[in-house]
Amino acid sequence: MTTATLAPAAAPVLDLDARLALAQAVMDERCTLAALAVDVNSAHIAIDPVEVTVPHLPQTAVPAPYTTPLAALLHRAGIRLQTDGWSREAALEEDGRRCAIGAIRREADSRWQADDACVLLLEAIQRHWEAETIPSWNARQPSVAPVLLAFERAAELADSRGI
């Protein structure tokens, strides 16, 4: 009695592009199944929108970490944006929201102090973002978060310069 052994068939050789296409197809299928599982597993959760109100804090209730006048002004202006609300375009909206310059003007003791703070704010902005003016940069921001970050960077800059 003779036994025959079969040699394993040679696997086809795939180039890199073919292997990547197969891997992408497998990953697309996995992602689709994962998204479907999330939808199915979270379908029973009903979330009603919740309106969050920020309490109005008097400016004196928040301690200033800076002792220099312009740094303290920029810090207070950032807090003003958080408490009164932020506006993309108007210095002061009817509902009290302010743009970056409007917040500085509100907190400044004089026009000259506001101008000096705006110069520092623009310098801080231009170090990290492309901007020609504060209003043009302010109008392009998606939320108040980058504006507050710019105020803190400007306050740190003023504090490091002792102004």
Instruction: Output the average pLDDT for the chain.
Output: 84
- Sign of the C-alpha dihedral, residues 80, 86, 90, 94? negative
Higher pLDDT, 97 or 1: 97
Burial of 86 (0-12, 13-18, 19+ CB in 10 A): buried
Higher pLDDT, 2 or 56: 2
- pLDDT value at residue 82: 92
Asked if residue 46 has pLDDT above 90, the reply is no
Q: Where are the alpha helices (DSSP H) in the chain?
A: 16-41, 69-84, 100-107, 111-128, 134-140, 145-161
Asked if residue 60 has pLDDT above 60, the reply is no
DSSP 43: T
- pLDDT value at residue 21: 84
With bands split at pLDDT 50, 70 and 90, how would you rate the model's confidence at 146?
very high
- pLDDT value at residue 126: 95
